[in-house]
Amino acid sequence: MAGKPGEFDLISTYFAPLTGDAPGAFGLADDAAVIAPPAGMEVAVTTDAMVAGVHFLADDPADAVAAKLLAVNLSDLAAMGAEPHAYTLATAWPRGIQPAWIEAFAGGLKAAQEAGGIVLVGGDTVATAGPMTLSLTAFGFVPPGEALRRGSAKPGERVYVSGSIGDAALGLRLLLAEIGAGCDAADRARLIGRYRQPTPRNALGVALRGLASSAIDISDGLAVDLGHVAAGADVDIDIDAAAIPLSEAARRLVAQEPDCAGYLYAGDDYELAFTAPPSADPALRDLTRRLDLPITAIGEVTAPAGAAGTVRVLDGTGAEIDTGGAGYRHF
Amino acid sequence: MAGKPGEFDLISTYFAPLTGDAPGAFGLADDAAVIAPPAGMEVAVTTDAMVAGVHFLADDPADAVAAKLLAVNLSDLAAMGAEPHAYTLATAWPRGIQPAWIEAFAGGLKAAQEAGGIVLVGGDTVATAGPMTLSLTAFGFVPPGEALRRGSAKPGERVYVSGSIGDAALGLRLLLAEIGAGCDAADRARLIGRYRQPTPRNALGVALRGLASSAIDISDGLAVDLGHVAAGADVDIDIDAAAIPLSEAARRLVAQEPDCAGYLYAGDDYELAFTAPPSADPALRDLTRRLDLPITAIGEVTAPAGAAGTVRVLDGTGAEIDTGGAGYRHF
């Protein structure tokens, strides 16, 4: 055969180096990869897809798109308490895409996978007449029966979140120039950075095994995602709005533009939300120190008042705050 | 939360039933699935994406699209000698897609997964402004070190293929009305069926562990795919064109329209091509009987004449046949 298809050149040039010579990746040159779990470990598997113009902006930098694609999947592994191990990548590139874009995308993957402790082991590359469509499947290891589930919260437990909430949603609205006329450059950069490159909480997820009764990562919005936790466990959840941890940048922006408060529930945080009994508090304080990551109690699990699965966000007077139907709807 | 996003309705209605209550699928209601390999097994992982208008025709029946998506991934597991276990699915549906289409698609998955011995354990569902884009990641089990690789063919070994070659490529050209004016209805249906719903050769793949020195599934075209086997092992491969097994329907069509012979190398067969020493012949004859599947010797592995990796397709006089540069190019 004279001349190989472009697919193979793309793979060998930009993607094969991302395997880090993992033996089961076979240099991305075989029909499948092989993952060998350590003795006594099972394999957690998650898939998240992103479409240009829907899940990221068409002019977002290539390396940030790559980092976000990996981060959202790492975040799902974190929410299961699984240690990141490897991933596969399916890319549908728009016809006419520039090699420089793909090179920058691969560079973004490289940085993100090094931070996340994960390597590429396989994938597929196709062309599309439509918008760029990226699908990543991530694999992590978790001991049998220790995966953090959504449906095990019990009344009397507390609800916690990691890090700060709302930064990413504010960052997106800043990018869209919908808000932030008075926002200074440093805050602007911080909030946009949190939208474009979320930080998955994998060390926390692994540490929460045996400590949290349930966990979820916040992608669609704090209230929406906690709704899944509540519905799965047949409980309700009450959130104290004043307890929700905000970054300094978010706090300043909401002080300047109070209407921005609604965006705090709009998702893309990729922080972990979890439930645990009050007895876990000392261990969680230790974790905050060890991981240098805030863990904040924001509410409690309650017995269902009516149909289970209701999340109420309450102000200081106990009145319910309208979170706007709350969060991202996919259709 | 009053009213859940449409994504969750789609998943619970059409896709959750495809888990077959697999415990690690968690009803498609958690952040990730968990796969528990049997003791002593590793996990083979493969991802293949398909885009409407590229990998299938926009008016192909929904159930056939689903069956093909699963089949091409099962075929990769077959080529590794891995036993099918589970899969995840990422779908980007075009806006405005009809629920009836998605229902028929899920029905096609159900039939194909029952035939293939595999269940759905996770995935993601997004919307796109572009063509439908489907990505499936399949998992199979294989003992350590026993996966069938591409790069281990040795001079003096024989090259074999399963089933018949060329049906699918002829079926596609029949669908496109490029050929087949004189083709009868039954042959037409058979060949189109082979294009739309290939049969992955998983039982053969598992049986070839320890018997074949290398294996690949034929997706891009017989000569192109054997080129990967040859290049990976630093050998050449000579194919005897007259030995390539054709179905009766393909044989009749090529007799009527000799120009169709070029399509025999155009791919989409999803048969296995593999190499094995001549001593494997009796075991392969047994396999043919046990699996009721033709296995045909079509050529031999040779020491490289120049740069390794050359596949020559030879006619009865030993002259090289031009396979048209041969097979599908992705870009």
Q: Are residues A104 and A177 in the same domain?
A: no
Look at residue A150 and tell me if it is in a domain. no
Buried b (16+ CB within 10 A) or exposed e, A289-327: eeeebebbbbbbbbeeeeeebbbbbbeeeeeeeebeebb
Q: Are residues B254 and B280 in the same domain?
A: yes
CATH code for the domain of B85: 3.30.1330.10
Nearest by CB: A33 against B45, B123, B126: B45
ipTM of the complex: 0.88
- The answer, yes or no, to whether residue B331 has pLDDT greater than 90, is no
Structural domain count, chain B: 2
Question: At CA B144, angle to CA B141 and CA B145, rounded to 5?
Answer: 120
User: And the tokens for B171?
Assistant: 């079926």
Q: Are residues A167 and A137 in the same domain?
A: no
Interchain CB distance below 8 Å, A147 and B32: yes
How many whole angstroms separate alpha carbon B176 and alpha carbon B178?
5
Expressed in angstroms, the distance from the first to the final Cα of chain B is 46
Q: Which of B142, B168, B190 is the last residue of a domain?
A: B142
pLDDT, tens only, A51-90: 999 888 888 999 999 999 999 999 999 999 999 999 999 9
Q: Which candidate from B26, B127, B224 shows the least CB-CB separation from A1?
A: B224
- Whether A324 maps to a domain, the answer reads no
- Cβ-in-10-Å burial (0-12, 13-18, 19+) of B94 comes to middle
Type of residue numbered B86? A
In this structure, the dihedral spanned by the alpha carbons of residues A299, A300, A304 and A305, taken in order and rounded to 10 degrees, is -60
CA dist A287 → A83, A205, A255 (Å): 17, 11, 31
Predicted pLDDT of residue A305: 85
Asked whether A197 and A75 are in contact (CB, 8 A), the reply is no
**Measured distance between the N- and C-terminal CA atoms of chain A, rounded to whole angstroms:** 46
Name B208's Cβ contacts closer than 8 Å, sequence gap at least 6.
Answer: B81, B148, B215, B272, B274, B276, B287
pTM: 0.91
Encoding tokens for residue A96?
């006419």
Please report, rounded to a whole number, the percentage of residues in chain B having pLDDT higher than 90.
83
Examine residue B322 and state whether it is found in any structural domain, yes or no: no
Contact check, Cβ <8 Å, B6/A35: no
Let me know if B281 is exposed, middle or buried by CB neighbors in 10 A (0-12, 13-18, 19+).
middle
- Cβ pair A320, A313 in contact under 8 A: yes
Of A5, A43, A150, the CB nearest to B331: A5
A325 falls within a domain: no
**What gap in Å lies between CA A314 and CA A200, rounded to an integer?**
28
Cα(B116)–Cα(B124) distance, integer angstroms: 22
Q: Are residues B95 and B184 in the same domain?
A: no
Token pair, residue B277, equals 């020493």
Q: Would B330 be classed as within a structural domain?
A: no
Beta-carbon-side half-sphere exposure of residue B66 (alpha carbons within 13 Å):
26
Q: What pLDDT was estimated at residue A12?
A: 86
Nearest CA in chain B to A124: B48
A68, A71, A75, A77: CA torsion to nearest 10: 130
A111: closest CA of chain B, how far (Å): 23
Cβ proximity of A259 and A181 under 8 Å: no
Looking at this protein, which amino acid is placed at residue A307? A
Please, which pLDDT band fits residue B316 given cuts at 50, 70 and 90?
A: confident
Over chain A (331 residues), the average pLDDT of each successive run of 10 is 52 92 90 93 96 89 96 97 97 92 96 96 93 96 95 95 97 94 94 94 97 96 95 95 97 95 93 97 97 98 90 92 60 41
Those residues whose C-beta lies under 8 Å from the C-beta of residue A15, and which sit 6 or more positions away, are A28, A89, A106, A120, A123, A125
* pLDDT range class, residue B226, cuts 50, 70, 90: very high
Does A298 share its domain with A204?
yes
Choose the closest CB to B35 out of A42, A151, A223.
Answer: A42
Mean predicted confidence (pLDDT) in B133-140: 97
CB contact under 8 A, B49 and A220: no
Q: Average pLDDT, whole number, for chain B? A: 92
Q: Are B49 and B42 in contact (CB under 8 A)?
A: no
Q: Where is pLDDT greater, at B252 or A324? A: B252
Residue A57 is predicted with a pLDDT of 85
Distance of CA A224 to the CA centre of its chain: 14
Compute the distance between CA of residue A173 and CA of residue A195 in angstroms, rounded to an integer: 10
Please check whether residue A73 lies inside any domain of the structure: yes
The closest CB to that of B32, out of A76, A125, A310, belongs to A76
- Whether the CB-CB separation of B84 and B140 falls below 8 Å is answered with yes
The pLDDT score that the predictor gives to residue A273 is 98
Residues A21 and A124 in one domain: yes
Out of A84-98, A189-203, B10-24, B206-220, pick the least confident. B10-24
What is the predicted pLDDT for the residue at A330?
44
Contact across the interface for A150 and B223, Cβ inside 8 Å? no
Same domain, A68 and A171: no
Q: What is the DSSP string of A112-130?
A: HHHHHT-EEEEEEEEEESS
Q: Do B50 and A90 touch (CB under 8 A)?
A: no
Contacts A35 to B, Cβ<8 Å: 42-45
My answer on whether B138 and B162 are in the same domain is: no
User: Is B324 inside any structural domain?
Assistant: no
Residue B4 reports pLDDT greater than 60: no
Maximum distance among all alpha carbons in chain B? 75
Q: Are residues B134 and B162 in the same domain?
A: no
pLDDT at B7: 66
- Do B58 and B171 sit in the same domain of this protein? no
**Residues B174, B304 share a domain:** yes
Q: Which residues of B touch A265 (CB under 8 A)?
A: none
Angle at B172 between CA B169 and CA B178, to 5 degrees: 105
Within 8 A by CB and 6+ apart from A162, the residues are: A201, A204, A271, A272, A273, A293, A294, A295, A296
Minimum Cα–Cα distance from A5: chain B residue: B329
A-B contacts at Cβ under 8 angstroms: 257
Residue B324 — pLDDT band, cuts 50, 70, 90?
low
Q: What token pair was written down for A234?
A: 């047949």
With H, G, I as helix, E, B as strand and everything else as coil, classify residue B329: coil
B114 and B170 co-located in one domain: no
Residue B136 structural domain:
6-142
**Strand partners for A52:** A56
Which among A14, A45, A77 is the top mutation candidate for probing chain B, defined by the most B β-carbons within 10 Å of its own β-carbon? A45
Give a yes or no: residue B151 inside a domain.
no
Contact: B330, A6; criterion CB under 8 Å:
yes
Q: Do A51 and B309 touch (CB under 8 A)?
A: no
Q: Which of B9, B12, B45 to mutate to test the interface with A (most CBs of A within 10 A)?
A: B45
Q: Please give the pLDDT value at position A8.
A: 67
Residues with Cβ within 8 Å of A119's Cβ and at least 6 positions away in sequence, in order, are A18, A19, A20, A22, A25, A86, A87, A113
- Chain A residues with CB inside 8 Å of B51's CB? 92, 126-130
Which of A37, A47, A232 is opposite residue B124, by nearest beta carbon?
A47
CATH code for position B184? 3.90.650.10
